[in-house]
Amino acid sequence: MALKATIFKVEMQIADMDRNYYADHALTIARHPSETDERMMVRLLAFAMHADKALTIAKGLSADDEPDLWQRDLTGAIDVWIDVGQPDEKRIRRACGRAAQVVVYSYSGHSADIWWNQIGARLERIRNLGVVNLPAGIGPALAKLADRTMQLQCTIHDGQVWVGGSKDAVQVELQVLKRAGTG
């Protein structure tokens, strides 16, 4: 018997002072049976970092041809493609060919460093690719905020992110491994 996705309801208040974006979002996340709370919460962090009325949660782990999050324009063209984890080089290159901007959020501590050391040099010339790494320990700290119904507050200022929930709060300083537009 196949396992079913677990549904999470999230009310997220976002105050992004870096982009002058302030909004509330009501999200429904179908967490894939193989997805951890840590990965799901990194997806929510990525959502907050790129929040827009047009940004949506895609199929992610459930579909090879979709990211975790994406933003499409009115014609269906992909403006922003966001993957979480450590996608392989082929997937990243294919995404960069399909979307105007691609951002990867890695979060697994030392294994993320190994992943980037292996593929980073081969991806340096891709101008529309950005890669961000979460410091070790942040993923598990975010996972502690996970609940089937969540009310999260996310404040972004000067590249620092603060995510608060009913249980605790986590401060995140993102490590930019590659900026889009460089290479």
Q: What is the CATH number of the domain that holds 120?
A: 3.10.640.10
Does residue 60 carry a pLDDT above 80? no
104-144 per-position pLDDT tens digit: 999 988 889 999 999 999 999 999 999 999 999 999 999 99
Residue 130 lies in a domain: yes
Does residue 12 carry a pLDDT above 50? yes
Q: Looking at the 3D structure of the chain, how many domains does it have?
A: 1
Residue 53 lies in a domain: yes
CA distance 55 to 182: 24
Whole-model pTM? 0.93
CA distance 116 to 149: 34
**Percent of the chain scored above 90 by pLDDT?**
81
CA distance 164 to 145: 8
pLDDT of residue 4: 84
Does residue 183 carry a pLDDT above 50? no
Residue 1 lies in a domain: no
Residue 69 lies in a domain: yes
Q: What is the mean pLDDT of residues 62-88?
A: 91
Mean pLDDT check: name the lowest of 16-20, 60-64, 89-93, 104-108. Answer: 60-64
Residue 183 lies in a domain: no
> Mean pLDDT of all residues in the chain?
92
Residue whose entry in the numeric block shows the structure tokens 């992610």: 60
Question: Is 166 exposed, middle or buried (CB count within 10 Å of its CB: 0-12, 13-18, 19+)?
Answer: exposed
pLDDT of residue 78: 95
More confident residue, 5 or 131: 131
Residue 128 lies in a domain: yes
pLDDT of residue 159: 85
Domain that holds residue 132: 6-178
Residue 63 lies in a domain: yes
More confident residue, 183 or 141: 141
Does residue 182 carry a pLDDT above 70? no
